[in-house]
A and B are shown apart, each in its own frame.
Chain A
Amino acid sequence: MRILAAMSGGVDSAVAAARAAQDGHDVTGVHLALARNPQTYRSGARGCCTLEDARDARRAADVIGIPFYVWDMAEEFHASVVDDFVAEYAAGRTPNPCLRCNEKIKFAAVLDRAVALGFDAVVTGHHARLGADGLLRRSVDAAKDQSYVLAVLTREQLDRSMFPLGDSTKAQVRAEAAARGLAVAEKPDSHDICFIADGDTRGFLAARLGEAPGDIVDAHTGDTLGTHRGAYAYTVGQRKGLDLRTPAEDGRPRYVLSITPKTNTVTVGSREDLAVHRVTGERAVWHGERTPVECEVQLRAHGEVVPAVVTVDGAGLTAELRVPARGVAAGQAVVAYRSDAAGDVVLGSATITTDRADD
């Protein structure tokens, strides 16, 4: 097959491309330039759009022996991921930009362009399994599993995707990179949001949304406990950085329960108040299993799984949780899994609409 390898400049995508080439595919490497002005993203090993990353990707392609190009996706990335990120926070939700990038860029704009140019599929270095049965499963490396940010992909997108790393641990991938002579073998993982090079999400949002002071309100008494400089800087479940003038009566820590952009308030309560028994979602992607279905749901990246009964009705999804979950934020994904010895299978996903079902 003619395969387009999306090469970020990291070790995972380099090994994925190498494996695809070794399997006899006709592989072409492409680095996605996502920064509007790559010069300004000169930020060391973090992020995914630095000059160094472009160079590392090119070097890896040379070593693998495949042609290599840079595609300028900055406009699309800014419109679909960065602007969306800011707008979601402004709306009181907590977006996952990696998920959005997969949904709108890597497996949409890039995949569409690749197909139009005559490629059959896109290969990436995501840690997830996509085998002959067509099912998307968790990686064997639970700590590195990325099925959560891929669950948004539709059947058509998955049919044109290859994830060759799903059966390997990160350690194995690094060892293989070294054995293949890929210089990125020891390159540190990128953890941060790639377009926020200094890791200061609050500062990034403040620069775009401006200071917008408002009240921090107690969920039970309705009392104003303090002020905030912008509700967008808070995430459901957050405890640190609340800086409350008035401590709670019971003296116990307070958590962010919800954010209400309309009144610019941040509502806080006790840890118990965070508990959620029911999660609703919109824009559901479902892979056909009949519902209601007894399964497990994951409610944020690297979050624990919770047993639940999931019902899908068109684009809507409801998960009745068997065990209450905490820190459930609108804008994150609810991903349903069926546990399976060969790797838990993704049944589908949706974007969470409720902060707390009890609201």
Chain B
Amino acid sequence: MLAEALDAYVDTARKVGNPSSLHAAGRDARRLVEESRERIAAVLGARPSEVIFTSGGTESDNLAVKGIFWARERPRLIASAVEHHAVMDSVAWLAAHQRATVHWLGVDHRGRVDPDALAEIVDEHGDEIAMISVQWANNEVGTLQPVPELSALAARAGIPLHTDAVQAAGAVPVDFAASGAAALTISGHKLGGPVGVGALLLGRDVPCTPVLHGGGQERDVRSGTLDAPGMVAFAVAVEVAVKNQQESATRLAVLRDDLIARVLDAVPGAVLNGDPADRLPGNAHFSFPGCEGDALLMLLDAQDVACSTGSACSAGVAEPSHVLLAMGADDDNARSSLRFTLGHDSTDTDVEALLAALPGAVERARRAAAWKTPR
């Protein structure tokens, strides 16, 4: 957590945890939550009433997809094929259990959706489409989507578009009003705030049925007593992240491009995944054909170089990423990939350390993959 956010969390927890009276405590907590709402709205181009606090990105995505689908009572849904599981599995669940018809929007080899493909589906099925969900930035390969263009297209047909901006907020400029999206997901821990806190920015006139029913605390769309210290820390983190966004993005992009160039240079056969230009400033994602990503990760781990493979199932088995498969990779190439993430504390020294370890590790992992071929 960002130091400012952590301080804010602790200060607030001490304050609201130490009330002079029960009544005053409730009032204090409410005031702090509302102030946080205003602060977040102010830096993300939203109205305070459009900020629905949730327990994080997963809940916000579920609420947007299911809530808008339910409220609009139309049979079709559109989502990109590279969504985070929080969106993808919500959509798939609606298809499996609530008879939703899903149109998965394919992506090109850089991971970008094609606005014309969206336009085609919208033209053909306009009235039957409940909602559209296309992420702002991909959490694996870092590719950015043309959200304003897609939103405009959706808005012309009167269809709400939700965008998962968990990875984008704080990393690239994100403005809810300017984006034209009907709903937008953000998550605390991706911005330097606490885990377990997030928000759905939800346009005032976008219908949305609750997923969590109860006291109706959040505009009757979301229920549950809010964690005031969490909200305050979240607001501080969002403010700091947005304030530093440009400077940090500029610095990270330089570091990232250096890392990418040097990896491509030092490792024979390495391939950069995602869009070379339109990508998250801190994201570098490669395939190392002939390696297994999990073997490589293990070798780099042992040298204190942090990286990650795609997703793993609940037993921990690395699975070929649906993102890479959607981008046209085959199973083996998808399994040979690795992501390096640069953050506010990353420096040249980290890039040096990575390059010192990587070529040897790739060579070794390639040799280790040879056992897979039939003996």
Q: Which residues of A contact B (CB under 8 A)?
A: 28, 31, 33, 35, 38-39, 49-51, 54, 58, 67, 69-72, 74, 108-109, 112-113, 116-118
B335-375 with Cβ < 8 A to chain A: 364-365, 367-368, 370-371, 375
- Given A67-B301, A67-B302, A69-B298, decide whether A117 and B365 contact each other with a Cβ distance below 8 A: yes
- Interchain CB contact under 8 A, A70 and B367: no
* Secondary structure class of chain A's binding surface, majority of residues: mixed
- Interchain CB contact under 8 A, A117 and B316: no
- Interchain CB contact under 8 A, A70 and B368: no
Please measure, in the bound complex, the distance between the C-alpha atom of A71 and the C-alpha atom of B295, giving whole angstroms.
9
Contacts of B313 in A (CB 8 A): 38-39
Closest Cβ–Cβ distance, residue B359 to chain A (whole Å): 15
Contacts of B325 in A (CB 8 A): none
Closest Cβ–Cβ distance, residue A33 to chain B (whole Å): 4
Contacts of A118 in B (CB 8 A): 299, 364
Residue of A nearest to B316 (CB): A70
Contacts of B20 in A (CB 8 A): none
Please measure, in the bound complex, the distance between the C-alpha atom of A122 and the C-alpha atom of B238, giving whole angstroms.
48
CB contact between A38 and one of B294, B295, B315, B318 (< 8 Å): that residue: B315
B312-328 with Cβ < 8 A to chain A: 312-318
- Given A117-B364, A117-B368, decide whether A39 and B314 contact each other with a Cβ distance below 8 A: yes
Please measure, in the bound complex, the distance between the C-alpha atom of A224 and the C-alpha atom of B79, giving whole angstroms.
65
Closest Cβ–Cβ distance, residue B303 to chain A (whole Å): 11
CB contact between A72 and one of B297, B301, B317, B375 (< 8 Å): that residue: B317
- Interchain CB contact under 8 A, A33 and B295: no
Q: Which 6 A-B pairs have the closest CB atoms?
A: A70-B316, A116-B368, A38-B315, A54-B315, A112-B371, A33-B317
Contacts of B302 in A (CB 8 A): 28, 67
Contacts of B294 in A (CB 8 A): 69-72
- Interchain CB contact under 8 A, B295 and A117: yes
Contacts of B318 in A (CB 8 A): 70, 72
17 A–B pairs (Cβ distance < 8 Å), ordered by A: A28-B298, A33-B317, A49-B315, A50-B315, A51-B314, A51-B315, A54-B314, A67-B298, A67-B302, A70-B294, A70-B315, A72-B294, A108-B375, A116-B367, A117-B295, A117-B368, A118-B364
Contacts of A54 in B (CB 8 A): 314-316
Contacts of B312 in A (CB 8 A): 70
Please measure, in the bound complex, the distance between the C-alpha atom of A197 and the C-alpha atom of B307, giving whole angstroms.
36
Residue of A nearest to B360 (CB): A118
- Given A67-B301, A71-B294, A118-B299, decide whether A113 and B315 contact each other with a Cβ distance below 8 A: no
Closest Cβ–Cβ distance, residue B50 to chain A (whole Å): 38
CB contact between B371 and one of A33, A38, A49, A113 (< 8 Å): that residue: A113
Please measure, in the bound complex, the distance between the C-alpha atom of A74 and the C-alpha atom of B316, giving whole angstroms.
13
Residue of A nearest to B318 (CB): A72
Please measure, in the bound complex, the distance between the C-alpha atom of A164 and the C-alpha atom of B144, giving whole angstroms.
52
Given contacts A38-B315, A69-B316, A117-B298, 10 further A-B contacts (CB under 8 A): A28-B298, A33-B315, A33-B317, A38-B314, A54-B315, A67-B301, A69-B294, A71-B294, A74-B317, A113-B371
Please measure, in the bound complex, the distance between the C-alpha atom of A51 and the C-alpha atom of B313, giving whole angstroms.
10
Please measure, in the bound complex, the distance between the C-alpha atom of A39 and the C-alpha atom of B314, giving whole angstroms.
8
Interface centre among B294, B314, B318, B371, by most chain A C-beta atoms within 10 angstroms, is B371
Contacts of A33 in B (CB 8 A): 315-317
Residue of B nearest to A114 (CB): B368
Please measure, in the bound complex, the distance between the C-alpha atom of A158 and the C-alpha atom of B2, giving whole angstroms.
51
Closest Cβ–Cβ distance, residue A111 to chain B (whole Å): 9
Please measure, in the bound complex, the distance between the C-alpha atom of A117 and the C-alpha atom of B298, giving whole angstroms.
9
Contacts of A117 in B (CB 8 A): 295, 298-299, 364-365, 368
